[in-house]
Structure 1
Amino acid sequence: MNVWIKMIDKILHPHRGKQEKLMSRMAEYRELSSLALESENKVMYSLLQREMNEMFCEYLTWCFLDGIGYLIPHALVMWLISIHFPYFTLPFDLPLIGSQVGVIVWYPLGMILFYAARWLVRKRTSGVLVNPAVK
């Protein structure tokens, strides 16, 4: 089971290794730039800041590509669902929507609820209580 989770995670986040490597290099450059600032070496500080900004832009690029890769399966699922069930008919009318709720509305809401519930379950099962006074 753990192998499947790692494989799915690798498919959904193919650039995670590059992101982690860039974050560690940015942390090193941050320390070096703070040392340059303490020693009042303005040229070295500006060079380190420029390099750190370039790395940060590269990091954001990899994050964007991972985000797109994460959304593509959801778009595919929405397309497949819309072939058979393009909308739900509700027994009452909603304001601005009416009685028919399309896939473009209910699928994202369902996914937001799913991820919020998963986050709450993981937070609850991690063993850390949010408010230890309440038992």
Structure 2
Amino acid sequence: MNKISELIRFLKDPHAEKINLHKGRYEELQDLSNVAIEIGNAEAYKSLQAEMRVEFFDYLTAIVVDSVYKLVPHVLIIWLISLKWPSITVPIINWQVNILGAYLLLYLLIHIGQLLAKPIKSMLLPKLGLLGLKSSE
């Protein structure tokens, strides 16, 4: 069971460990660079800055690869949907909308709804607590 949960965690975000490794290494180099400035060691500072640049570009590369990994499923979904329905009609106003635009709009609406749901939920839970309803958390 532990192997299955580890596999699911890896498939959900396979590059998280590499990104965190590069980020941690970059922060460590930044701290060492600050120490080099404090003690006045210019040679160590230059060396650490060069190493920080390399680490930063490795970090950016890992983020880009992770972003592409997260984008590919959406491209495949849009492609599969567009094979069956290249465009859809909005019922009330009778507009023809490309499936790409409809998918992107739906995706943005879902994420905006998730962002707005957290503050609304946190405002409503105390008020609902007065009515005798308890949160499940």
In 2, the alpha carbon distance for the partners of 1:102 and 1:87 equals 4
Q: TM-score normalised to the size of structure 1?
A: 0.77
Whether the 8 Å contact between 1:12 and 1:70 is mirrored in structure 2 is no
Larger radius of gyration: 2
CA shift, 1:37, in A, is: 0.6
Superposition map of 1:29-68 within 5 A = 29-68=29-68
TM-score normalised to structure 2 length = 0.76
Q: 1:16 to 1:114 in 2, by over 3 A?
A: same
> Which runs of at least 4 in structure 1 moved beyond 3 Å after TM superposition?
90-93, 122-125
RMSD: 2.4
Which letter does structure 2 place at the counterpart of 1:92?
Answer: I
CA contact (8 A) 1:12 1:66 kept: no
Unpaired runs of 5+ residues, structure 2, are: 124-137
Deviation at 1:57, TM superposition (A): 0.3
2:26 corresponds to: 26
Over 3 Å counting, the alpha-carbon distance change for 1:124 and 1:40 in structure 2 is farther
Matched position secondary structure for 2:89:
strand
State the SS of the aligned residue for 1:58: helix
Which of 106, 113, 116 matches 1:117? 113
Cα distance, 1:88 vs structure 2:
1.4
For 1:92, the equivalent position in structure 2 comes to 93
Aligned to 2:50, the other structure's residue is in SS state: helix
1:124 shift after superposition:
4.9
SS of alignment partner, residue 92 of structure 1: coil
Structure 2 distance, partners of 1:103, 1:77, is 11
The one of 85, 90, 98 equivalent to 1:102 is: 98
Identical counterparts, % of pairs: 31
Answer 1 or 2: higher relative contact order, Cα 8 Å, separation at least 6. Answer: 1
Count of aligned residue pairs for this structure pair: 119
Q: Which region of structure 1 is more displaced relative to structure 2, 115-124 or 42-51?
A: 115-124
- Higher helix content, 1 or 2: 2
Whichever residue aligns with residue 105 of structure 2, its letter is L
Q: Which consecutive unaligned segments of at least 5 residues does structure 1 have? A: 94-98, 130-135
> Could you give the per-residue CA deviations for residues 22-79 of structure 1, whole angstroms, max 9, x where no partner exists?
1111111111100101111111111111111111100110110110010000011101
Residue identity matched to 1:50 = A
